[in-house]
Amino acid sequence: MLLRYLLSAISAAVDVRSAPGSGTYSNPVIPGFSPDPSCTRRNGTFFCVNSSFNAFPGVPVYASRDLQHFKQIGNVISRVEQVPGLATTNGTTSGIWAATIRENDGTFYVTTTLVFDNKDQLDLTRWQNMLFTTKNPFAKEAWSDPIPFYFPGYDTSLFWDDDGKVWVQGSHAWHVYPQIQQYQIDLATGLSLSGDPQAMWNGTGGLAPEGPHVYKKDGWYYLLLAEGGTGVGHMATMARASAITGPYEPFEHNPVLTNANTTLYWQTVGHTDIFTDTAGNYWAVALSTRNGTANFPMGRETILTPVVWSGDWPVFNGAVPGHIYPQMSGPLPVPKSAVAGESLAWELASTSGLLAGADEYQNFEPGSTFPLHYLFLRLPDTSKYAISPPGHPFTLALKGSALNLTGTDRRTGNPTFVGRRQTQVKFYASVDLSFTPTQDGEEAGLTIFLTQAQHFDVGVVALSGASARAQGYPEAQGDAVETYIRLRTVTTSSSLQGAVDPISKPAILPLAQDDQQRLSLRVEAPNETSYEFSYAQQGSNQWHVIGSGDATEVSGGFVGTIVGMFASGNGADSATVAYFSNFVYTGKD
Contact residues: ligand NAG, CB under 6 A: 30, 33-34, 37, 42-43, 48-50, 52, 55, 60, 62, 88, 90, 106, 116, 118, 120-121, 177, 179, 199, 201-202, 232-233, 235, 255, 258, 260-261, 263, 267, 291, 302, 339, 341-343, 356, 404, 406, 408-411, 421, 441, 488, 501, 503, 526-527, 529-530, 532, 548, 570-571
User: What is the distance between the alpha carbons of residues 519 and 437, in angstroms, rounded to a whole number?
Assistant: 14
- Strands in 332-407 per DSSP E: 360-362, 376-377, 385-387, 396-399
Task: Name the residue nearer to ligand NAG (CB basis): 9 or 320.
Answer: 320
Task: Name the residue nearer to ligand NAG (CB basis): 220 or 394.
Answer: 220
Task: Name the residue nearer to ligand NAG (CB basis): 267 or 395.
Answer: 267
Task: Name the residue nearer to ligand NAG (CB basis): 504 or 517.
Answer: 504
Residue nearest to ligand NAG (CB): 50
- Which phi and psi (to 5°) does residue 33 adopt? 40, 60
CB 191, min distance to ligand NAG, A: 24
- Which phi and psi (to 5°) does residue 431 adopt? -155, 145
Task: Name the residue nearer to ligand NAG (CB basis): 49 or 185.
Answer: 49
Task: Name the residue nearer to ligand NAG (CB basis): 10 or 339.
Answer: 339
Find the angle CA(209)-CA(210)-CA(211) to the nearest 5 degrees: 145
Per DSSP, 557 falls in state S
- Which phi and psi (to 5°) does residue 26 adopt? -110, 145
User: What is the distance between the alpha carbons of residues 373 and 398, in angstroms, rounded to a whole number?
Assistant: 18
CB 395, min distance to ligand NAG, A: 25
CB 579, min distance to ligand NAG, A: 21
CB 379, min distance to ligand NAG, A: 13
DSSP H or E stretch at residue 465: helix 465-470
CB 202, min distance to ligand NAG, A: 4
CB 502, min distance to ligand NAG, A: 10
- Which phi and psi (to 5°) does residue 215 adopt? -130, 145
Sequence-separated (6 or more) residues with CB below 8 Å from residue 105: none
Task: Name the residue nearer to ligand NAG (CB basis): 52 or 395.
Answer: 52
CB 66, min distance to ligand NAG, A: 15
DSSP H or E stretch at residue 12: helix 2-13
3-state SS class at 583: strand
CB 377, min distance to ligand NAG, A: 12
Are 74 and 61 in contact, with CB atoms under 8 Å apart? yes
User: What is the distance between the alpha carbons of residues 169 and 251, in angstroms, rounded to a whole number?
Assistant: 19
- Closest by CA position to 518, among listed 569, 454, 582, 471: 582
Task: Name the residue nearer to ligand NAG (CB basis): 339 or 509.
Answer: 339
